[in-house]
Copies of this chain bind each other. A is one copy, B any other.
């Protein structure tokens, strides 16, 4: 049997599972941020007309899934599996949403790395011929996360300067085979649980950066690629501080990130929105991927990206028992299939040669 593997941690999807639809929905604050115009939907009220924030969270997820189905003009009967999870204990947002859709459900827990975990599992199921289409989704909500992991909002607790702001938002990607979409997932690198001993539950960026570094380095080793092979390397929610730590860790390991690296948590909020280190939460990378990033890929601005959602696998009880924070990151390659432009043999035009490559422009001469 042919092994669809590269190195230790990377799996190859030879049938190129396509991204056939996507949808991102966010809260008011996120909608006021720099990416506001890219989101499919911005809700005005964090309670979303519901009685509790937990119910609001699952309604937001449901909206994202319904939105992706509608936007992609997908026949609901063609969807085989729902794959996802969220930050709430026992992933109730995802489970309760799955109850609504009545499709076979694969529940995941990868904290804020869930978007890339669900894409990797979904791509494997489509690539292996086990599914025609899969829904990959996740969600987070500022108010539910604060009260579960830190303090209830009612306490008016002061936030430390290293903290991040959990994004209220959800993202849904629908994967499928044999579709017209040009954007597909050729590879995924599953991450190892990494723990550098950080114990400060407020400083997620510092805790998660080593996990991101590990997965990205594994990916480069497995694939023999370098940072410059990607138009964009984007982590999930390291925030400002965590991103800087990641740059340092990468440089220390001999990989220099240039301006082709950024972090979803860093770009979702503007500086004057007072989120300190930026956004976090499973919904952060999910909503940024399914809006701005995939939009830029559809437009051909990015042709090959590495999407690395990052998760901190702590619980309140592990923190109370004095444990450090184990973290994980899964790296997903997303590429845009580019038509080879018909070359006019009489001209000296510069054209982009690749079918599946990076956006390096190649000078063509007769």
Contacts and interface: CB of A to CB of B under 8 A. Distances in A.
Interface of A: 1-5, 8-9, 11, 15, 52, 54-55, 80-81, 85, 88-92, 95-96, 98-99, 102-111, 117, 121, 124-125, 127-132, 148, 177-178, 189-195, 313-318, 321, 323, 326, 328
B117 A124 contact: no
A100 to B, nearest CB: 8
Contacts of A314: 90, 92
A113 to B, nearest CB: 9
A103 B105 CA distance: 25
Contacts of A121: 106, 121
A104 to B, nearest CB: 4
A326 B90 CA distance: 11
A94 to B, nearest CB: 8
Contact of A318 (B15, B54, B108): B54
A11 B130 contact: yes
A90 B109 contact: yes
Contacts of A108: 106-109
A-B pairs, top 6 by smallest CB distance, nearest first, are A128-B128, A104-B190, A95-B313, A90-B315, A109-B109, A99-B193
B95 A326 contact: yes
8 contacts: A5-B80, A11-B125, A54-B321, A91-B313, A98-B192, A104-B189, A105-B191, A107-B110
Nearest to A125: B124
